[in-house]
Chain A
Amino acid sequence: MRETVYVLGGAQTKFGELWNKSLSDLIREAVDGAIASTGIMPTDIDMVVIGNMVGGETAEQAHLGTLASSMLPHRPPSLRVEAACASGGLAVHTACAFLESGKAETILVIGAEKLTDVANDIVTSALMRAGDAEKDAPAGLTFPSIFALSATAYMHKYSLKREDLSLVSENSHKAAIKNPYAQFRKEIPAAAISKSPLIADPLRLLDCSPISDGAAAVILSTKHESSVHIAASQLASESLSLTDRESLTSFMSTRTAFVRALSESGWDKNSIDALELHDCFSIATLIHLEDLGYAEEGDAIRIFRQGDAGLDGALPINMSGGLKACGHPIGATGVKQILDCFKQLSGTANNQVTDMKRALAHNLGGVGATCTVHLLENIA
């Protein structure tokens, strides 16, 4: 990072089916909470960046930058960014770039999505826009079925068993019990996950992150200081369509973003204490762990089998409940991951990992077509 970017604080709404709240209600709640959590005045904010994917289709609202800016008394300049499910991570990355360039000193970063106002059909087709509209979608694919293609290939290549795959969602659900903002705060045993209805073979309902509403906001600054800073912010791309990929069982974008993030921060990957991974589908978590180098190819499931991913494990993963159990309001997720890392690093998380110094937030758009990686550190 060219400048030290501090995370001053942040807030999120509850994630879930929030029929009593509109998209702007959600944004306002997160913004008010975020400002209140820090010592700064609203007018200290000199820019707003918001991540959102399908506001136009599911809330009939575009132009979200100004919508959010209008909530502040002085209407600072604002913009909306989009990279499918990585819109939130992209918002944080964009804010970092503005802060590093000196164009802004204190930025309000928001991620928000409102999905449950419209019928399932509309959400399904809106989410499929994360894939390739000419090469992938015309065959009648839905978003879960794209990841199912990855899962089929992975299970075939590495002989992964169904019972094992369920351990991934089980871990997320267990963590979410303590998270008051989570959509599902209930322990679900692996056996029940293995028996849930099929969505796109081999993926079942409880392999998939849910359709959620929600918003999250964090305030980043180079002017005001705090004990947590962002040590690296990286963005990487891979071909949009699966038909242009070499491999279905590894995402080059994750590998590229993480290698660059490690070199930007000068960290060793083993010095990171906990991970927030983009577990949009159970299979994705396994692929990420291998792409990040925490497991050999085909062997990531061992981390879950050995219980290493839990709160007391060697590498706690998704202690917020992740996308699977905390919920996945598309654009909000990447910002909420930064918020969860901030809570862990400032010692205020509900599933507090002991001795937290360094955390990783990994946000993915499409089937690994976009990836953002953020490394956060407590420097107190």
Chain B
Amino acid sequence: MDRIPALHRRIKELANARLQPGVIESFTIVRHPPAGFGTEPYAVALIRLEDGTKVMAQLTRDSAEPMIGATVIPHMRRIRTMSNGLFVNDLKYEVVAMKTAPVFTVISYVLAVSGPSGVGKTTIARQLLTLFHSYAEQVPILTTRKAKKSDTEPYIHVSKEEFDSLLAKKEIISWTHMPSSTEQRYYGYRKRDIEAIWKKGKLPIVVTEINLLKGLVESLGRRAVLSCGLLPPGRSKRLMLSALLHRLRTRGRDTEEQIVERLKIAEADLKAFTDHAHLFDHMLVNDELGVCVETIRELVATVK
């Protein structure tokens, strides 16, 4: 319907409008345009402008491919034809580029390997690092726990105060707290460690547990995390847990008391797989180490 006074009001509004760039929050391609908008499909986006207000607008036809997070700039263009044949102009936005990342946006992805204690995460990560030595690097874990000689993970040891101050400065993008019988332990990932690996053009690998994984997914976006869950062999939960128990005992690193503690956590981890299925892209049974590593290698190769 052509409401001429409404058009007049819009023209006055445009004359006073400040033209601003913005960022795409969501978009769609209208395949069946309404009357007056032609017959060719076009993209429409919900755009957050520089001053924080949002507008709904068409994207120009010569735009780069729209993406959530892409930067757009305004142009005055013909938007529709009235039934009397006159053209109506309005603002359309051109997609110029992905937002250059001052905050954390997806410029690459992170490979996450998680699973219950004793399932073989560390071994697999080590093999992957050897396999991809030129283009993968493990992300160090920030922790408040005391350094131990038997540590196999790349830990960065900090005090609780340092940890808190990093948290406050938003430098830690994912963290968790695990009380143990002897001390309060905090673990986290620093934004700058992951960014540094990306800057080298390498793939960050994290060997992680469910809370840290959740945090990573929240900060980086679900699509920026290729997440593999590792299951111990066994058809039932009971068999899986006994396989773990066997492994924990044979590796001889922990006391029996610690083993029981680890098993409890493992049981919760197994449950987390079902409760948080959406956090995982692939579930792999670590039955034969070589096969498992090869599977992950193929997954990574497909993404690249």
A201–B32 Cα gap in the complex (Å)?
11
A140 and B34 contact, CB distance less than 8 A: yes
> Which residues in window 18-61 of B have CB below 8 A to A?
25-35, 37, 42, 44, 46, 53-58
Q: Which residue of B lies closest to A297 (CB)?
A: B278
Interface membership of B10, Cβ < 8 A: yes
Per-position binary interface string of chain B over residues 209-232, scored 1 when its CB falls under 8 Å from any chain A CB and 0 otherwise: 000000000000111000000000
How distant is the Cα of A248 from the Cα of B47 in the complex, in angstroms? 12
Instruction: Find out whether the CB atom of A138 lies under 8 angstroms from the CB atom of B10.
Output: yes
11 sample A-B contacts, Cβ–Cβ < 8 Å, listed by A number:
A140-B37, A141-B34, A141-B44, A149-B46, A156-B223, A159-B222, A159-B278, A198-B29, A201-B29, A203-B28, A243-B56
- Cβ-defined contact, A125 with B1, below 8 A: yes
Shortest beta-carbon distance from A131 to chain B in Å: 9
Least CB separation from A131: chain B residue: B56
A30 in the interface (beta carbon within 8 A): no
Quick check: is A351 within 8 A (CB to CB) of the other chain? no
Q: What's the Cα separation between A251 and B10 when bound, in Å?
A: 29
Q: Which residue of B27, B28, B35, B56 has the most chain A CB atoms within 10 A of its CB atom?
A: B28
**A305 (CB) vs chain B CBs: closest residue:** B277
Chain A residues near B10: list those with CB within 8 A.
138
The reply to whether the CB of A55 lies closer than 8 angstroms to some CB of chain B is no
B30–A140 touching, CB < 8 Å: yes
In Å, the complex CA distance between A298 and B1 comes to 39
Tell yes or no: A148 within 8 A of B by CB.
yes
- Interface-centre pick from A141, A151, A242, A244 (highest chain B CB count, 10 A): A141
A148–B42 alpha-carbon span in the complex (Å): 13
A250 nearest CB across to chain B (Å): 13
Q: Contact at A135–B28, with CB atoms within 8 Å?
A: no
Question: Looking at B29, B80, B221, which has the most chain A CB atoms within 10 Å of its CB?
Answer: B29
Chain B contacts of A125 at CB under 8 A? 1, 34-35
- Please determine whether B25 and A140 come into contact, CB atoms closer than 8 angstroms: no
What 1/0 mask marks residues of chain B from 53 to 93 whose CB sits below 8 Å from any chain A CB? 11111100000000010000000000110000000001000
Tell yes or no: A302 within 8 A of B by CB: yes
Determine whether the beta carbon of B30 is less than 8 Å from that of A142.
yes
List of A residues within 8 angstroms of B30 by Cβ: 140-142, 145, 200
**Contact yes or no, A152 B28, CB < 8 A:** yes
Total chain A interface residues with beta-carbon distance under 8 A:
37
Cβ contact within 8 Å between B223 and A201: no
Query: Does A257 reach chain B (CB closer than 8 Å)?
Result: no
Tell me, rounded to whole Å, the shortest Cβ–Cβ distance linking A35 to chain B: 39
**Provided the pairs A138-B90, A153-B26, A243-B55 are in contact, do residues A302 and B34 lie with their beta carbons within 8 angstroms?**
no
B46 contact set on A, CB distance < 8 A: 149, 242-243, 248
Contact B25 A248 (CB under 8 A): yes
A199 in contact (CB, < 8 A) = yes
| Extra contacts besides A125-B1, A243-B55, A248-B26 (19): CB < 8 Å | A128-B34, A135-B55, A139-B58, A139-B79, A140-B42, A140-B58, A140-B79, A140-B80, A141-B30, A142-B32, A142-B34, A153-B25, A156-B68, A156-B223, A159-B278, A200-B30, A202-B28, A242-B46, A302-B277
Complex Cα spacing A242 to B46, Å: 8
A140 to B55, CA, bound (A): 13
Contact A199 B32 (CB under 8 A): yes
Minimum CB–CB distance from A15 to chain B (whole Å) comes to 22
> Which residues of chain A from 122 to 147 have any CB-CB distance to chain B below 8 Å in the complex?
124-125, 128, 135-136, 138-142, 145
Note all chain B residues with C-beta closer than 8 A to A156.
26, 68, 221, 223
How far apart are the CA atoms of A148 and B79 in the complex, in Å?
20
Whether B278 pairs with A302 at a CB distance below 8 angstroms is yes
A121 at the interface (CB under 8 A from B): yes
Contact A145 B28 (CB under 8 A): yes
**B54 with A152: CB separation less than 8 A:** no
**A215-262, CB < 8 A from B:** 241-244, 248
Q: Which residue of B lies closest to A204 (CB)?
A: B31
